[in-house]
Amino acid sequence: MSSFKFGILGGDLRYKTIFYLLKKEGYKVCSVCNHYIDDGVRKDDDIFFEGTDVIIAPIPFSKDNEKIFLTDCMEMKIDDLFRKMNKYDIKLIIGGVISNKVRENAAKYGIRIFDFFEHEAVAVLNAIPTAEGAILKAIEESDRTIFESRCIIFGYGRCGKFLAKDLKGLGADVSVTFRNERDEAYIKSFGYKGINLYDVKSQIYEFDFLFNTIPAPVIDKGIIKKLNQDCVIIDLAQAPGGVDFGFARERNIKAFYCPGLPGRVAPVTAAEILKDAILKISISQIPVL
């Protein structure tokens, strides 16, 4: 049995699975501020912080760089958490979507802070349920099948690659935007149609589904004006997304911002991915006693 103790602070349904997966592997685990987890432990500082080696923080870590993003208990300021960690000599925290300001603050307290989504395995594997969830949302919001539909994907990063593969597998006619010759070559080699991002406006009317993965305002008024009225937009980009949602509403075009899909459509799979990352990061940062 490992000597590590993990403290789960907040989190969603994924964290319930992480809790039980870690316990199953012999780790000590305690939690606060997560209504999905009932470990029968009194929730106070002595129980949660004492003896803890790693804090597992929520996704996102914070929405305002001042408070921890907690939905199930009292408000907790980031500075207060870091002071508590110092008091109990906890030097490692792992969470998601962590800003540079929070990182700088952690460094002042001598705390090492890691972002799930900067861990390459998490970023790649998380793209799989994200792509599946995006397609599920598109099907739910349209009156047509993916089969023989015309789909365009903005961006050919991790998520864009899985989306293109899955959509093509379902029989869609798939186009993908590119900005450099390398992406253009990969897109064409997999049998998709490549469209230069700067030329896309002239071809945008033909599509039934638009999926955006670019974290920049690329789906602007100029694009939306030329969209097919029945086109469904699914935005998967990091906050605040890449779609002018207000103008889409004015045009009566369905547009949906879909952050955090893995935790909603496949919480068990997403939890397994995060658990593996937690252990790899923890083992690399803390000597095993």
- The structural domains of the chain, ordered by start, are 5-118+267-285 (3.40.50.720), 123-258 (3.40.50.720)
Phi and psi at 194, nearest 5°, equal -95, 135
Count CB-CB contacts under 10 A for residue 160. Answer: 25
Task: Dig out the tokens for 137 from the structure.
Answer: 């949302």
pTM: 0.86
Query: Three-state DSSP class for 252?
Result: coil
Exposure string of 44-77, with b = 16+ CB inside 10 Å and e = fewer, is eeeebbeebbbbbbbbbbbeeeeebbbeeeeebe
Cα angle, residue 37 at apex, residues 36 and 38 outer, rounded to 5°: 125
Task: Dig out the tokens for 25 from the structure.
Answer: 């592997």
pLDDT score of 65: 94
Residues near 1 by Cβ (< 8 Å), separated by ≥ 6? 26, 27
pLDDT by residue for the chain (289 residues), tens digit each?
A: 467 899 999 999 999 999 999 999 999 999 998 888 876 555 566 788 999 999 999 999 999 999 999 987 778 999 999 999 999 999 999 999 999 999 999 999 999 999 998 889 999 999 999 999 999 999 999 999 999 999 999 999 999 999 999 999 999 999 999 999 999 999 999 999 999 999 999 999 999 999 999 999 999 999 999 999 999 999 999 888 999 999 999 999 999 999 889 988 999 999 999 999 999 999 988 765 4
pLDDT score of 41: 55
Helix residue ranges per DSSP H, the chain: 13-24, 45-49, 78-87, 100-108, 120-140, 158-169, 181-189, 221-225, 245-250, 261-265, 267-285
pLDDT score of 1: 43
